Amino acid sequence: MAADPLSTTFAALADPTRRAILARLSSGEASVGELAEPFDISLPAVTKHLKVLQRAGLISQGREAQWRPCRLEARPMRDAVAWMESYRHHWEQRFDRLNEYLKSIHTPEPARKGVRRGRRKK
Amino acid sequence: MAADPLSTTFAALADPTRRAILARLSSGEASVGELAEPFDISLPAVTKHLKVLQRAGLISQGREAQWRPCRLEARPMRDAVAWMESYRHHWEQRFDRLNEYLKSIHTPEPARKGVRRGRRKK
């Protein structure tokens, strides 16, 4: 597996358990046992997920003798967000145009007959 | 493959050719042939990538008889960015704290002994 760093990051994010682990670690470091707790899966399964996250550089594990806490590493996530954001304004534009179009086909023409003003939908 | 939408999106993004296709489409729709042009891979290989992107809802393909233009679909990308951003301030904080720590161990203590200032290691 000689994937580029960005591909490795996205591949690591492509799993709900791994994303939940990252979410947990975003509020502070935790041991493997603590990370496994909320999930209904075996410790080896969690360890496997942690290895994928570690290979992607998304987490690191301390070397303290007894509990080896896992912690989040910000850089790969920042790079992934940076890639997405570099095209963001194009996506937003497309989305805005779509919204405008949908509005235009669903909104009646400007009131031109002096109709009584009632409650309006937002 | 009954992956959740977010996992499907991230998996689709985990490939440099697919990301390049999305980057191209962010500047306007294009035919399969146009999309294949810059890549040194076969048309069937490009078609395969397009299918992955289509399954993830990241692109759609028009039904115009002759050229069936591909276009970007914003929603999955927005959802992926939204997920990443929901934890962003934690990552930024971690990153900032790391930066501060690195600065603190490399910056000399406030000059209090009036020592001559020489060249310091960074």
A21 has pLDDT over 90: yes
Span A37-84, pLDDT tens digits: 988 888 899 999 999 999 999 999 988 767 789 998 888 988 998 898
How far is A121 from A108, CA to CA, in rounded Å?
13
How far is A65 from A54, CA to CA, in rounded Å?
19
> Hey, are the CB atoms on A19 and B80 less than 8 Å from each other?
no
Split at pLDDT 50, 70, 90, the class of A114 is very low
Are A49 and A38 within 8 A, CB to CB?
Answer: no
Interface of A with B in 80-119 (CB under 8 A): 80-81, 83-85, 87-88, 90-92, 94-95, 98
> Hey, are the CB atoms on B72 and A88 less than 8 Å from each other?
no
User: Is the ipTM here above 0.90?
Assistant: no
* pTM as predicted: 0.75
Span B40-70, pLDDT tens digits: 888 899 999 999 999 999 999 988 767 789 9
Are A47 and A17 within 8 A, CB to CB?
Answer: no
- Quote the distance between the C-alpha of residue A61 and its chain's center: 21
